[in-house]
Amino acid sequence: MLERDLANDFTETFREYQIWVPNNRTAGWPDRGVQINNSRIIWFELKIIQHKLQSTTVSINTFTKEQAAWMAKWQRSGGFCYLFLGIVDRDSNEFLNYSILRCSNWNTWLSVPYSKVRLEQLLLFEDRLGILDWFKDLFVPKDVSNKKG
């Protein structure tokens, strides 16, 4: 799997939303934005990462310090941003699963390029439908029209 393949999967996953792809990007801008209600944009940086099956950690060493700084600034200002990961087996290059990395504190982004990430810190998904369900649970308001009250 290449990052181009991951980008296609991302587009297919979020096809019901307006997807923003920045051009003329300065250093650090994320790969994709998903526009939701009230013109809010949720940003995603797309990365393919290699994983050794026996390991309990992964390195996201292609995530640059400029990208980490951008994500930290966005989150510090109240925005939402995530890494959208395609995990492949280091030995066979076979696709394993999709994953989302979210940082609970904005300053945690700054350490991601230099640290190993524990698998338990990642949200793991077997397919794109799981990612879409996760996204909708977080960002799409539930229909409250049937509630009395």
pTM tops 0.75, yes or no: yes
Q: What is the model's pLDDT at position 148?
A: 46
Is residue 148 included in any domain, yes or no?
A: no
Is residue 118 included in any domain, yes or no?
A: yes
Q: What is the model's pLDDT at position 14?
A: 97
Q: What is the model's pLDDT at position 144?
A: 52
* Number of structural domains found in the chain: 1
Going 65 to 15 to 122 to 1, the CA torsion angle's sign is negative
Q: What is residue 121's DSSP assignment? A: G
Segments of the chain scoring below 70 in pLDDT: 143-149
Is residue 145 included in any domain, yes or no?
A: no
What's 18's domain CATH number? 3.40.1350.10
Query: Rounded to whole angstroms, how far apart are CA atoms 52 and 58?
Result: 8
Expressed as residue numbers, the domain containing 63 is 3-139
Is residue 147 included in any domain, yes or no?
A: no
Q: What is the model's pLDDT at position 2?
A: 83
Q: What is the model's pLDDT at position 34?
A: 98
The residue among 109, 123, 115 whose CA lies nearest residue 74 is 109
Is residue 78 included in any domain, yes or no?
A: yes
